[in-house]
Amino acid sequence: MPSELSLTRGIVASEVFTRDGSLPLQLVTLENGRGTRVTLCDLGASLYSIHTRDRYGHSDNILLTYADPQHWLENHWYLGVTAGRVANRIGDARFTLGNETYLLPVNDGKNHLHGGPQGLHTKRWQVVQSESSARFQSVTFRCVSEDGEGGYPGNLDIELTYCLDEDDALTLEYRALTDADTPVVLTNHCYWNLAGADGILEHELEIHANQLLRLDEQLIPTGELFNVAGTPVDFRKRKKIGRDIDWWPGGYDNFWVVDETAEKTLKPIASLVHPASGRSVRVVSSEAGVQFYSGNFLDGSRNRDSGSPIHKYAGLCLETHGFPDAPNHQNFPSVILKKGEEYRQTTIYQFSAE
C-alpha cells in the first residue's frame, strides 16, 4: 500500500504489477483462523479473491480472478468491483431529479450501466483505516466522486469497510455523504464459483423472493413486478442453476425483489451451494433485492488465475442493491440520497463447508 499508510499488524499488503507499467495494483489480505483469506484491491475497492476450504479441507479461490493483472485495468466484466454511483442499468442513460434532466454516458446499448465507463470501478480507492483483533480483521477504503463525474450531481464521499470475522462471515458496510441530492446505488460485482473450477450450472441457488421485476428486451425494468410462483425464476426452494437457465435467452440477468418496501433492515437474500465440494455462501443484506447474473457475457477471451478460460457461466453474481432504474420509476422505492443524509448499505457473506 502507499508508504504513508500503516496497516494494522496481521493484515498483509502486497503489490501486483501490470504489463503496461502503470501504477501497480495495491492488494490487502485479511485472514481468519479457519484459513479463509480475502484479498482486496485498491482499484475499484474490489474483491480480488476469496480462498475458503471445502469439506475435505482443500482451499480454493471461490471468485473469478483474472490471471493477467493487466486485465484488471480493463475489467469490462466488472470482476469483483464496487459498482456505482448507480449500479445496474439506467434506461436511456438519463434521469430527472427536481426540474433537471441529467444525461449520463452510454455504455450498454443505449443505456447506462454500473456508473458508466468512469464509474467507481475505475477509481483508485485509498485505505483509510484497518483493524485486527482476536475476533476479526477489517479494512476501510474511501473515495470521492466529484460533482458532475459520470454525469451525476453532487460531490459523493464514500467509505467501504470489509470485515472478515472468526465465524467465517465477510461483512461489507457502505457509507456515503453528498452535498447535493443525487441517486446512489452501490454493490459488489464479484463472480462466485464455489467449485474453484469449471462452471456454475451444477451449483444450487435459493433466493428468498416472491417477486421479480419485469424487463424489456434491453433488460430495463418496465415498472411491473410479477409473482415467481410456478415459473422458471422461482428459486424459493433451492434448485440447480442449470435446470431452467434457458428460460431467458442467454441466461439469468434479473432482479429478484426480496422486500418491496426497501426497508433498510438485515434480511436473508440468497444461499448458494456447491454440493460436490460442500461449500456454501449465505447472503444477508439490508437491500431490497438481488440481481442474479449468471455470467452470460463471459466469452473465454480472458483466463482466470487457475489458467482456464473465463467462459460463459464460469461464475455468477449476486448483486444486492436497491431497485434498478429507480430514478425513472415513481412507483419504485427511491434511491435518492439527500444532502445532509447518510447512505448506508450492509451485505454479509457467510461461508461454510459441510
Which residues belong to the active site? 189, 319
CB distance 172 to 346 below 8 Å: yes
The kind and range of the H/E element at 215 are strand 211-215
Distance CA 254, CA 245 (A): 12
Question: In the numeric block, which cell numbers belong to residue 106?
Answer: 452510454
Phi, psi (5° rounding) for residue 203? -70, 155
HEC-encoded secondary structure of 316-341: EEEEEECCCCHHHCCCCCCCEECCCC
- DSSP for 101-141, please give it: EEE----BTTBEETT-TTSGGGSBPEEEEEEE-SSEEEEEE
The Cα 205–Cα 87 span in angstroms is 22
For residues 303 and 309, what is the distance between their CA atoms, to the nearest angstrom? 4
Report residue 93: phi and psi, to 5°: 55, 45
Residue whose C-alpha is closest to residue 292's, from 224, 241, 226: 241
How many alpha carbons lie under 13 Å from residue 19 in its C-beta half-sphere?
Answer: 7
